[in-house]
Amino acid sequence: MHHNQQPGPIGIFDSGYGGLTVFKEIARQLPQYDYIYFGDNARAPYGIRSFETIYKYTLECVQHLFDMGCHLVVLACNTASAKALRSIQQNDLEAYGPGYKVLGVIRPTTELIGQLTQSRHVGIMATTGTVQSQSYVVEINKFFPDIQVFQEACPMWVPLIENNEQDSPGADYFVEKYVQELLQQSAQIDTIILGCTHYPLMLRKIRQHVPAQIRLLAQGEIVAERLADYLQRHPEIKGLCRQGGQFEFFTTETPDVFDAKARLFFDAPVHSRHFEL
């Protein structure tokens, strides 16, 4: 049991860069807090890995954030939220005590979806790991049993974005392919959740291939709103989140490589430090 009751930064975790699209919105809506962003770039992508590996890697990174003084960690990664969050909450948090919390990005999105779809046919585009976990299907059906969920794994999208090809003609092929495969499952889909925190970077391209009447839902704003609400409802956790407006960035990869790409995701200059695993 950790007995540290000193307020600390809010931890934001992702396998790499994607979580920066969520952090950007959190920082915009809640600029008063201190934050540590932690990207496990050396071991990304997570989307293709097994349950055991994703759980192990995610838990390690969460523990590093706790060691750095965080009490509250947001898994700003769908793959980690789908495959590791529940196990961490059930098996690992108890050892730390009641002042330690980990939140994910899937629950906030699924809670909202019932208000957004008219046709009750919803599409999920995500990594293979997230799709295989069935987390979106299970979570949506818990809140809204009348909604039908159709999923499409998009394994080529993260590599395209990681290699800065999101606006190139080469991206068109795989955007078109996965969008078509999803829409072939149901012609009634009226809302598509971009269930991977990388995808907002390719939003322009995705929008070109998705019929205009279908809503595309990115998660950053939704997660930020739910975090603000969570802190409102949990003053005991809010009191453990240090205010000061300082942002720190750690990557398990080389900082200069991280910084160059991170600014595209974060929309602002990023100066990271290396974290040795």
Least separation in angstroms between residue 140's CB and ligand DGL is 17
Q: Is 13 helix (H, G, I), strand (E, B) or coil?
A: strand
Task: Indicate which single residue of 18, 39, 200, 220 sits in contact with ligand DGL (rule: CB under 6 A).
Answer: 18
Q: Compute how many residues bind ligand DGL; rule: CB under 6 A.
A: 17
By CB under 6 A, residue 79 contacts ligand DGL: yes
Q: Which of 7/60 has CB closer to ligand DGL?
A: 60
By CB under 6 A, residue 108 contacts ligand DGL: no
Question: What is the separation of C-alpha 153 from the centre of its chain, rounded to a whole number of angstroms?
Answer: 16
Task: Please give the structure tokens belonging to residue 110.
Answer: 């699924």
Task: Indicate which single residue of 12, 196, 202, 224 sits in contact with ligand DGL (rule: CB under 6 A).
Answer: 196
Q: Which of 8/104 has CB closer to ligand DGL?
A: 104
By CB under 6 A, residue 47 contacts ligand DGL: yes
Q: Which of 8/200 has CB closer to ligand DGL?
A: 200
Q: Is 77 one of the annotated active-site residues of the chain?
A: yes
CB atoms under 10 Å from CB of 45, counted, come to 22
Please list the residues that pair with 215 across neighbouring strands.
191
**Alpha-carbon gap, residue 199 to 77, rounded angstroms:** 11
Question: What is the separation of C-alpha 108 from the centre of its chain, rounded to a whole number of angstroms?
Answer: 11
Task: Indicate which single residue of 58, 109, 117, 130 sits in contact with ligand DGL (rule: CB under 6 A).
Answer: 130
Q: Which of 18/108 has CB closer to ligand DGL?
A: 18
Least separation in angstroms between residue 45's CB and ligand DGL is 3
**Alpha-carbon gap, residue 152 to 26, rounded angstroms:** 27
By CB under 6 A, residue 46 contacts ligand DGL: yes
Q: Is 241 one of the annotated active-site residues of the chain?
A: no
By CB under 6 A, residue 44 contacts ligand DGL: yes
Task: Indicate which single residue of 9, 14, 133, 258 sits in contact with ligand DGL (rule: CB under 6 A).
Answer: 14
By CB under 6 A, residue 77 contacts ligand DGL: yes
Amino acid identity of 107?
R
Question: Tokens 């995610």 map to which residue?
Answer: 58
Question: What is the separation of C-alpha 238 from the centre of its chain, rounded to a whole number of angstroms?
Answer: 21
Peptide bond into 235 cis (omega under 30): no
Q: Which of 72/124 has CB closer to ligand DGL?
A: 124
**Alpha-carbon gap, residue 58 to 61, rounded angstroms:** 5
Which one of 61, 70, 77, 241 is the catalytic residue? 77
Least separation in angstroms between residue 243's CB and ligand DGL is 28
Task: Indicate which single residue of 127, 135, 148, 252 sits in contact with ligand DGL (rule: CB under 6 A).
Answer: 127
Alpha helices by DSSP H, listed for the chain, are 19-29, 51-67, 78-83, 85-87, 106-116, 128-133, 135-143, 157-162, 169-185, 203-209, 220-233, 235-238, 255-266
Residues 78, 21 contacting (CB under 8 angstroms): no
Q: Footprint of ligand DGL on this chain (CB under 6 A)? A: 14-16, 18, 44-47, 77-79, 127, 130, 158, 196-198
Provide the annotated active-site residues: 77, 196
